[in-house]
Amino acid sequence: MGNGQVEALQRLIRDREELEMHREAEARAIAHCLIQTHIGQYRRGIDIPKFYAALAEALMATRAQAQSDCLGEEVLTLTGGECARASGAL
């Protein structure tokens, strides 16, 4: 493998890692907004850090499943409302 190919492969790996970090941050932002918007005052008895982590993980897993099923990005925006706009998803 030549230097150009190695550099191209490294760039591809770096781009993929940056995309994954962006998607994780987006899922965390949507999860945070959903919790604030829909749970708010009803949070008594809920372990919010665990709920937040599980919700963010579910959002990321749903995105990954949708991508493997070849669905478009517009389907992947689960909230479609204010949370998605606030997080930059829309």
- CB 37 within 8 Å of CB 82: yes
User: Could you tell me which residue, 80 or 37, shows the higher pLDDT?
Assistant: 37
Of the pLDDT bands very low, low, confident and very high (cuts 50, 70, 90), residue 88 is: low
What is the pLDDT at residue 63? 82
* C-alpha distances in Å from residue 82, one per residue of 4, 19, 52: 44, 23, 18
- CB 21 within 8 Å of CB 1: no
Residues 6+ away with beta carbon under 8 Å from 35? 43, 48, 51, 52, 55
Rounded Cα distance between 75 and 45, Å, is 32
Of the pLDDT bands very low, low, confident and very high (cuts 50, 70, 90), residue 90 is: very low
Helix (H, G, I), strand (E, B) or coil at 79: coil
| Mean pLDDT along residues 11-16 | 91
What is the pLDDT at residue 18? 92
Q: What is the pLDDT of residues 24-66, one digit of tens each?
A: 898 888 888 888 888 877 778 888 889 899 999 998 888 888 7
Q: In whole numbers, what is the pLDDT of the chain averaged over residues?
A: 78
